[in-house]
Amino acid sequence: MKPRVAVVKVGESVEDAVREAVGLLGGMEKFVEPGESFLVKPNLFTVKSAETGATTDPRVFMTIVELIKEAGGKPVVGECPATGSYARPEVVFDGLGIRKLCDEAGVEINILDREEPVRVGNPDGEILKEVWFPRFALECAGIINAPKLKTHVLTALTCAVKNLFGLQQGGTKAHHHVQTGNDSERFSRLLVDLYQAIRGQVRLNVVDAVVAMEGEGPNTGDPVDLGVIIAGGDAVAVDLVGTALMGWDPLEVGTNFIAAERGLGPSSLEEVEVVGTPISEVSRPFKKPRTHQDDQMFLDVRMPIECDPEKCTSCGICAKVCPVNAITMAGIPEFQDQNCIQCFCCIELCPNGALSVVRTEAYKARVGGSAAS
C-alpha cells in the first residue's frame, strides 16, 4: 500500500488546515492511543519566529496538542534546542512564548536536553552503529513530528527526516558534525541513520509550510508565504512531497535519495498517494542555498565563510558553536579555513544573518563560470 500524504491549502485558519490534513489521514485516533503520552516535536532551534520561516508555527503544533487530547492521549511538547549549546535551553521556549502557550493549555514542556540519554543499537547504520536519544523520546508511546519546510545550507532540505536531528542532545550535534568530517554526503547518511534508529517511534509528521524558507536556510534565508500544511505517517514520503512543493526533483535531495536507497521509504512520488490539494496547485520554485545552486546532491568544493561587519554584533555565538574551534573573535569573527569542516553551524546559528558562504573561483569554474558570487 502506498503511504498517504495530505496536502492542504490554508484557508481561513492554520488550525483548520491542520485538522483537515490529519483528518484526510484518518484522524488523530489512527495515530494515538487513549491514556498514553506522546511527544510533539516541533522545530524550535532558535528564537526567531515562525513568520521568519525559521521555526514551527505554534498554531500548528498546538493544534496537534489539541487533537491528541481529543483522541484521549497526553501530549508533551519537547525539543533539544540547538540554541541550548551556548545558552539555557529555556531561552527558546520563553523567547518564542511557547511556555506561556503550553501553560495556558495545561500541556507539559519537556526540555529533552535534560533527559537521561539512552543507547539504541543501530546495526544497519552506515555511520552510526549506535545512537543515543533522550529517554522520553523512546519511552513515550510515540512521536508526532512537526517540522518546518525549509532549505538548509548543508543538506539542501530540512523537513521531517532532518527535524529528528533535534532529538540529539547538547554537544552530540556538534560531535556528529565532527564525526562526519563534515562531508555533506556522510552527514546526510548520518541523518538517515538517526531516522532509521527512531522511525519506529514516529507516528505522524505534520509539516508547517505556512511560511516556509528559501535561500540561506535554515536560519537566515528568505520567508516564503506558501500557505500549506503537509501531513503523513511516512517521513520520507512527506519529504518527497515537500521537496516537490519547492519545485525540486525530490531525489536530488541527499536524505531523500539515501532513505529510498535503503528501502526506508518510497523512491518516487509515483509511490506516494497524495490527497487533498494537488501539488501542482500550491508548488512554487524555491531558491536553493548558495552551497547547492549547482544542483549537485552533495558538496564537493570547499567554500569559505565571510562575515558582514555591518550585521555582526560581535556576540561570539559563532565561535561558541563551532565544533572544531575554527573561529576566533577579534571584534568580528576570524576563520581558520584550514580547520573549518564546512558544517556551517556558525551560519545556521548566527542570530543576525551576518555569515555566508563565498562562492570561490574554483567553485564557479566547476559550474561553468555562470554562478553569481
Q: Is residue 373 a part of any domain in this protein?
A: no
Amino acid 360: pLDDT? 60
**Same domain? 199 vs 341:** no
CATH number for 148: 3.40.50.11440
Question: Looking at the predicted structure, is the pLDDT value of residue 373 above 50?
Answer: no
- The model's pLDDT over 331-340, given as tens digits with 9 standing for 90+, comes to 899 999 889 9
Amino acid 89: pLDDT? 74
The last residue of a domain, from among 259, 289, 319: 289
> What integer is the mean pLDDT of 175-203?
94
Amino acid 298: pLDDT? 81
> What integer is the mean pLDDT of 342-369?
73
- Spatial CA neighbour of 162 closest among 245, 235, 94, 269: 235
**Same domain? 52 vs 151:** yes
Cell of 291: 552551497
Question: Which segments within 99-245 are labelled E, that is strand?
Answer: 108-111, 117-121, 130-134, 142-146, 148-152, 156-158, 202-214, 222-232
**Same domain? 46 vs 9:** yes
Q: What is the mean pLDDT of the chain?
A: 92
Percent of the chain with pLDDT over 70: 94
**Same domain? 335 vs 194:** no
Phi (first) and psi of residue 57, to 5 degrees: -65, 125
Count of structural domains, the chain:
2
Q: Is residue 142 a part of any domain in this protein?
A: yes
The last residue of a domain, from among 257, 289, 321: 289
> What integer is the mean pLDDT of 204-228?
97
**Same domain? 60 vs 164:** yes
Amino acid 349: pLDDT? 85
pLDDT higher for 86 or 68? 68
Give the residue numbers spanning the domain of 279: 4-289
CATH number for 348: 3.30.70.20
- The model's pLDDT over 15-42, given as tens digits with 9 standing for 90+, comes to 999 999 999 999 999 999 999 999 999 9
